[in-house]
Amino acid sequence: MFSPQPRLRLYGMPGALVTVAKAYLTGSVNRGQDLQRLEAELLRYTGVNHAVTVSQCRYALHLLVKHLVKPGQKVILSPYTIHDVINMVIAAGAIPVFADIDKETCNISLEDARSLIDENTGAILITHFQGMACDAMAFRRLCDEHGIKLIEDCAQAFGAMTGNRLVGTVGHAGAYSFNRVKNVNSFYGGAIVTDDAELAARIRQEVGLLPPIQPRRLLKQIIYCAVRELLSVTPVFQLVTYPIVRFASLRGSRAANKVINTEEHPVRRDTLSEFLRCRMTQMQARIVIQQLDSVERSIERRSQIAEKYYQGLKNIRGLQLPPRRMDHSHIYLGYPIQVEDRDAFIRHMMRAGRDIAIQHCGNLADEKCFKSFHRDCPNARWVAQRVVLLPDHPKYSDREVQRTIAATRAYFETSENPLG
């Protein structure tokens, strides 16, 4: 009974590790023209005119705010994201303004964003949550009406469509992430895409002056990913990893929670971390290029799993499912359901031998560290307490999906706490 597959598998493994080994053995971590090749591939993939690779997506967002918004101007954004996105805006000299989100999509509300625009607004930053594309065209029209910029945070949505365009290509600029938990994984990494030649040139110049990522930092991340992958291989996971995670989780261990919830203690930073001031290596670019061809395949597989979840879990009182989209406007980076008593639900699932976790983002509009930007965002508060991610990575088997559905149904058949 207690033999689940892990809720997370890193994308691009073990191929990425083979590329790493080759690069270290041949001394080609920073040799080659692969960053240029990757930028050319991104142009082909997205259809935009300019792509610039960067150390991380959060740094991309920082650069975009810095170059598109004047110091002291406001940036309207969702409070339901990682805390460092807010820090990137602050460090760029702008003022974050939280707009509430839509309860079903968990994305920033167009109407609330509209109501917040004033003469000091410089941009709207939209986040495509867990692969669910915002209506970027509607945001673009709103921004154009007011002569302000639209920035797209596509960290969780590489490959998602909004209308007939890829996310990242509708705003004045878009930012992608290739970090270890994304659907393209080069350990760290990101890219900016834009049709604005001057913006791209200024960012390229700034990034071009930076050194490649510190070898020790990159190596640490690679080793972490390799160990994590090893602990996720089926027999190891079932015999060692899961029993420990399950035991710790049911005992309410803080250490276990820390591993799961990286956003537990958000911190405000007014200046940019020196860590971010670096470039991707040529090796990381090679790793991204290797994975680009499988992006569509993995979207198809996750969409299939999402449909199975939908069919298996629809019409359960107290369970809110994500929007059902089969047109690539949701790439289901995870399958975010909403449950009223999330802790009770996780305990039930762990007892039933399932490996699942909460969505780690909180409602940043309520966080103490951002209290000078506090704004009442009731939907974000509601959602942030309820979202649980059901596993849907491409290696998650149909049998596992059915077991997760059965365990979820069992919870609601006995639960006293439906959402209503």
Ligand X SMILES: Cc1ncc(COP(=O)(O)O)c(C=O)c1O
Sequence-distant (≥ 6) Cβ neighbours of residue 196 within 8 angstroms: 50, 172, 173
State which of positions 54-93 bind ligand X (CB under 6 A).
56-58, 81-82, 85
Residues 88, 58 contacting (CB under 8 angstroms): yes
CA 363 to chain CA mean position, Å: 15
Place of tokens 């399950």: 246
State which of positions 139-158 bind ligand X (CB under 6 A).
153, 155-156
Q: Which of 99, 170, 101 is nearest to 137 (CA)?
A: 170
State which of positions 354-413 bind ligand X (CB under 6 A).
none
Least spacing, CB of residue 186 vs ligand X, in Å? 10
Least spacing, CB of residue 320 vs ligand X, in Å? 20
CA distances from 109 to 80, 126, 339 (A): 11, 9, 21
State which of positions 91-130 bind ligand X (CB under 6 A).
127
Least spacing, CB of residue 177 vs ligand X, in Å? 3
Least spacing, CB of residue 188 vs ligand X, in Å? 7
Least spacing, CB of residue 189 vs ligand X, in Å? 7
Residues 122, 68 contacting (CB under 8 angstroms): yes
- Establish if 279 lies at the interface with ligand X (CB under 6 A): no
| Identity of the residue, 28 or 179, whose beta carbon is nearer to ligand X in the bound complex | 179
| Identity of the residue, 159 or 190, whose beta carbon is nearer to ligand X in the bound complex | 190
| Identity of the residue, 5 or 177, whose beta carbon is nearer to ligand X in the bound complex | 177
Q: What 3-state class would DSSP assign to 383? A: helix
- Establish if 177 lies at the interface with ligand X (CB under 6 A): yes
Residues 122, 149 contacting (CB under 8 angstroms): yes
- The CB density around residue 419, as the number of other CB atoms within 10 Å, is 16
Least spacing, CB of residue 397 vs ligand X, in Å? 26
Q: CA torsion sign, 35 to 41 to 46 to 47? A: positive
- Establish if 174 lies at the interface with ligand X (CB under 6 A): no
> Token digits for 416?
């006293």
| Identity of the residue, 82 or 245, whose beta carbon is nearer to ligand X in the bound complex | 82
Least spacing, CB of residue 83 vs ligand X, in Å? 10
Size of the site for ligand X (CB under 6 A): 13
Choices 21-29, 50-58, 107-115, 253-261; region in contact with ligand X by CB under 6 A: 50-58
CA distances from 102 to 113, 142, 383 (A): 11, 17, 9
Place of tokens 């959402």: 419
**Rounded-to-integer distance, Cα 164 and Cα 158, Å:** 15
Residues 116, 365 contacting (CB under 8 angstroms): no
| Identity of the residue, 149 or 246, whose beta carbon is nearer to ligand X in the bound complex | 149
Identify the burial level of 291 via C-beta atoms within 10 angstroms of its C-beta, where 0-12 means exposed, 13-18 middle and 19 or more buried: buried
CA distances from 50 to 27, 39, 47, 161, 292 (A): 30, 8, 9, 19, 18
Least spacing, CB of residue 26 vs ligand X, in Å? 27
> Token digits for 255?
């250490």
Least spacing, CB of residue 394 vs ligand X, in Å? 19
| Identity of the residue, 213 or 390, whose beta carbon is nearer to ligand X in the bound complex | 213
Among positions 12, 190, 322, 362, the unique one binding ligand X when judged by CB under 6 A: 190
| Identity of the residue, 157 or 313, whose beta carbon is nearer to ligand X in the bound complex | 157
Summarize as ranges the residues that interact with ligand X (CB under 6 A).
56-58, 81-82, 85, 127, 153, 155-156, 177, 179, 190
